[in-house]
A = this chain, B = another copy of it.
Amino acid sequence: MSQAMKVLAATARAATRTLGTCPDAQRAGALRQAAGALRAGRQAVLEANAADCAAAADLPAALLARLHLDAAKVEEMARGLEAVAALPDPLGRVDLRRRLDEGLELTRITVPLGVLAVIFESRPDAAVQIGALAVKSGNAALLKGGREAARTVALLVDLLRGALAAEGLPPGALQRLEDRDEVDALLALHGDVDLVIPRGSSDLVRAIQARTRIPVLGHAEGVCHLYLHAAADPAMALDLVRDAKLQYPAACNAVETVLVDAAAAPRLVPALVAALPEVAFRGCPRARALAPMAEAAEADWDAEYGAPILALRVVDGLDEALAHIAAHGSGHTEAIVTGDPEAAARFLREVDAAGVYHNASTRFADGYRYGFGAEVGIATGRLHARGPVGLEGLVTVKYLLQGQGHRVADYAGPGARPFRHEDLPPA
C-alpha cells in the first residue's frame, strides 16, 4: 500500500514539473475545457450522483443534501471552473528583485507548492473546486473523497483529467484515491506530499492533524468572540450579534461567545435576549442577574456550537475581554464593537488571531469576501498562511540568481568587494 502510494505521489511530483512551468493559458485552458466537458456530460454526472444518493439513503439528511447534485449545481461547478480559470496567474510573480553587485541579480518568484493531498467528505463538488485551484496554481493533487460520493467523484475527476490531457498536460496531476486505507498511507508520505487540505468537519480536521507530520492547511476550531465595549452603539451591537450568530450559525466564522462590558451590560444584556428570541443564551452569573437565561458551564467558553446558541459573559473592561479571548479564542476571528477609537486600536493591536475586527461581523472572514476570488480554506496556524487563504496559499517562492561567473571568494576576506544590495523595480 505504502509503496503504491509513493508511486502515486511520484507521478504527481513529475506532473508538477510540467504543470508548474507551462503558461497560464494552458492551465486556464484545461479548466475551461473541463467546464465544457462538465456541461456536456451533465447527464452522466447526475446519473452517477443518483446512484450514490440511492446507495446512501440511510445517511443523515444533512449529509445527503451535501451529496446530492442537480442540474443547477452542475452548472455552478462549471462556472466555478471558468471563474478559477479567469483568476490572475499566481505563478511567476516577482516579489523581490535586487542587484547584489554589478551583473549579479537576485529575483524571487512564486512557484507551485508541489503535491497536495485533499481529503474531503460528502460534497462531490469539493473535488472540482480544489482540483481547479490546484491546476491553476500548477500543483498536483491527490484527491480522497467520502466513500458515499465515490461514483460521482470518480466521474468528475476523470473529466478533469481528460481536460488536462486535451490541453497536453499530464493527467497524473490529479489522482483519485479510492480506499479509506489509502488515507493512512497518504498521511505518512512526509516529504512526498507538501500540504494536506482537509475539507469538512472540525472532527475531520482534528483527526487528520493528529495522524500526519505533513503540514495541514485549515482549522479545527472557530471559537469567535464579539466584545461589546462600554462605548458600543447599542443598535449596532444588536445588529452585529444577530448577523455574526444567525446569518449562518454553522459557519466557522460565526460568533460563539459575546462578551459584554459591565458598564453597558444592564442595558445590552436584556436587549440582546429580547431582540434574539431564536438564540439560546448561556450566561455567566452576572449576565443571568440581568436577564433570564441558562447557566454557562466552564466548557461553554470553549464551545463551537455551530447552532443558534450563544455564551454570554459580562467582563470588567477591555483588559478582561482581552484576557478571556487570549484564553479561549481559537485564533480565527475576533471583533470589538465600540465607538471609542482608542479601545478599538488597542483591541486590533493586542488580539492575536487571524482576523481582528472593529465594528464588523465576524462572518466577513472569507476568501471571497476578502476579494481573493477563491478560497482554499481558512488557516488558524501561524506558519505559511493565516486567515482566509486564496491561491497564494498554494504557492511558494524560489530565488533565481543570475551572474556572470560571480564567486563568493571575491566578497570575503581582506580586500573583499562590498555588496551593492540595490533594490530594483519588479520587472
Contacts and interface: CB of A to CB of B under 8 A. Distances in A.
Interface string A232-247: 0100100110110001
B370 A403 contact: no
Interface string A5-21: 00000000000110011
A143 interface: no
B364 A100 contact: yes
A401 interface: yes
Interface in A196-245: 213, 215, 233, 236, 239-240, 242-243
Nearest to A104: B360
Nearest to A397: B386
Given A364-B408, A406-B361, A398 B386 contact: yes
A363 interface: yes
Contacts of A194: 382-383
A357 B407 contact: no
Contacts of A358: 400-403
B360 A406 contact: yes
A113 interface: yes
Interface string A392-427: 000011111111111111011000000101000000
Contacts of A386: 396-398
A195 B406 CA distance: 34
A352 interface: yes
A397 B371 CA distance: 17
A271 to B, nearest CB: 15
A174 interface: no
Interface of A: 16-17, 20-21, 98, 100, 104, 106, 108, 111, 113-114, 194-195, 213, 215, 233, 236, 239-240, 242-243, 247-248, 326, 337, 344, 348-350, 352-361, 363-365, 369-371, 382-384, 386-388, 396-409, 411-412, 419, 421
Q: Please list the 7 inter-chain residue pairs (A to B) with the smallest Cβ-Cβ separation, ordered nearest first.
A: A360-B403, A371-B421, A243-B407, A363-B408, A236-B405, A383-B384, A357-B401
